[in-house]
Amino acid sequence: MDDIRPSNNQIYKELIKKVAEEFLPRRTPLTELQYGPLEINCFSTCFWMNVSDGEGQSGVYVKIPKIILYNKKNEQIMPLSDNDRRLGEDEYRSLVHLSRYWPSDDGDVRFVKPLGFLKDYNAIITERVYAEHFFKLLRRCDQRRTFLQKSDSAHLVMSRLGRALSKFHQTSLKECKWDVESIVRKMASCCSQLASFGVESAFVDMIVSRLETLQNLSIRTHCTNTLKGFDVRQVFIDGNGVIFLLDPGKMKTDYIEMDLARFIVTCRILYWGSMQFFLRKSPDSSYEESFLRSYYGDSVRQDKVICLLTIKELLKHWRMAYTVLRAKRWPRVVKEFLRRTYVDPFYKWQINTELADLGS
Ligand SMILES: Nc1ncnc2c1ncn2[C@@H]1O[C@H](COP(=O)(O)OP(=O)(O)OP(=O)(O)O)[C@@H](O)[C@H]1O
Ligand SMILES: [Mg+2]
């Protein structure tokens, strides 16, 4: 039977026409448009569109969320599963919420502006941001850092991010019950999945037994609207120093420290995927310290909660590293080598450090 699903190329052409009509300045002839190729990411297919006039340029980004994760078959935009559609709707809903509630008085940290959602294509249209990836600046600053140096431009960006996130959290802050049991249960389940993937069971058992000693940790906590996508790789900075944030992901009521831990772990894996990883595993801790210090200001910092949730996040990333490794079409021996020399030692070292900070 013939496959009647539209091809990526067909969808691309239809979207270019539709987006030009609905979201770009009126009467832009198709011949004056510029547009980029389809970019395949782990969780979406994207492309940009631009119109320039004498004054400057304006453009949009078209993003079709989909769980692709290195699976060739999933690189075809259609069909979209219910989960893909949920991914798109959740992200668009978050962007609309942020366009109303992200604090605008600290205008130099902004979320990308949503322009619309084309349901038939699961396509989110946002204003295009003309800026550089902040994580590249962070790598450069971290590598040039000298022992005596106190702060650099990346510390400043980290402080601004901490302050802006804190203001956003305060828009819906409420006291809530600290349910350590449920957290420990989720972490233990992640641990058993890691063991089933082949992670040394002695290490996994050690984590689980340490977690069990925390069941009595009684703490006053706060919940708020948290952003699943608050990730250092989604921070951009333009030539005027304006910070832009992309891809907030799904919003969820959760502990404020959940966003902090998520962000911290994305910083810890700053050198992943680059050759520098063999020289420097994680950036200097002063960067995350700048972020946390300005997040908390004069408020009481819940270090134990941050530590515990950081371990939770590390476990999730570790599990994801295995999922990605399995999806890669590399020879088995290469995968095994990476697992033993790169993935497992990194996460064990990170988790051991956090467990030591957590104390007993
Ligand atoms: N509005 C925008 N302006 C400029 N660039 C954008 C915009 N939206 C997306 N991009 C570019 O597309 C990339 C992927 O976008 P995004 O992070 O939203 O998708 P994703 O599916 O989460 O991808 P990944 O899995 O790589 O994180 C970004 O890193 C950025 O380079
Ligand atoms: Mg992303």
Contact indicator for 109, 245 with CB cutoff of 8 Å: yes
How far does residue 357's CA lie from ligand 2's centre (Å)? 30
* CA 136 to mean position of chain CA atoms: 15
pLDDT for 72 equals 86
Ligand nearest to the CA of 64: 1
- Tokens coding 197: 């993937």
Pairing of the two strands 251-255 and 221-227: antiparallel
Q: Closest ligand 1 atom to the C-alpha of 130?
A: 4
Write out residues with Cβ below 6 Å of ligand 1. 41-44, 46, 61, 63, 112, 126, 128-129, 234, 246-247
- As averages over each run of 10 residues, the pLDDT of the chain (360 residues) reads 80 94 77 90 95 78 94 91 96 97 84 97 97 97 84 95 96 92 93 94 93 80 95 97 96 97 97 77 94 95 93 97 89 92 93 87
Nearest CA to ligand 1 atom 22: 43
Near ion ligand 2, which residues have CB within 5 Å? 247
Q: Closest ligand 1 atom to the C-alpha of 43?
A: 21
CATH number assigned to the domain covering 8-127? 3.30.200
**CA–CA gap between residue 100 and residue 267 (Å, rounded):** 28
Contact indicator for 260, 295 with CB cutoff of 8 Å: yes
How far does residue 187's CA lie from ligand 2's centre (Å)? 24
User: How far, CA to CA in Å, does 294 sit from each of 255, 267, 290, 324?
Assistant: 18, 16, 6, 34
Q: Domain residues of the chain, as ranges? A: 8-127, 132-358
How far does residue 215's CA lie from ligand 2's centre (Å)? 34
pLDDT for 310 equals 97
pTM over 0.75: yes
Ligand nearest to the CA of 128: 1
pLDDT for 158 equals 97
Mutate to test the pocket of ligand 1, among 39, 40, 41 (most ligand atoms within 8 A of CB): 41
CATH number assigned to the domain covering 132-358? 3.90.1200.10
* CA 132 to mean position of chain CA atoms: 16
How far does residue 68's CA lie from ligand 2's centre (Å)? 12
How far does residue 266's CA lie from ligand 2's centre (Å)? 12
Nearest CA to ligand 1 atom 8: 61
Nearest CA to ligand 1 atom 10: 61
pLDDT for 5 equals 84
Q: Closest ligand 1 atom to the C-alpha of 249?
A: 22
pLDDT for 106 equals 67
Nearest CA to ligand 1 atom 18: 247
pLDDT for 329 equals 86
pLDDT for 107 equals 62
pLDDT for 360 equals 58
Mutate to test the pocket of ligand 1, among 23, 98, 115, 247 (most ligand atoms within 8 A of CB): 247
- Tokens coding 144: 């040039």
Mutate to test the pocket of ligand 1, among 24, 35, 58, 61 (most ligand atoms within 8 A of CB): 61
- Tokens coding 179: 């349910």
Ligand nearest to the CA of 235: 1
pLDDT for 3 equals 62
Contact indicator for 112, 121 with CB cutoff of 8 Å: no
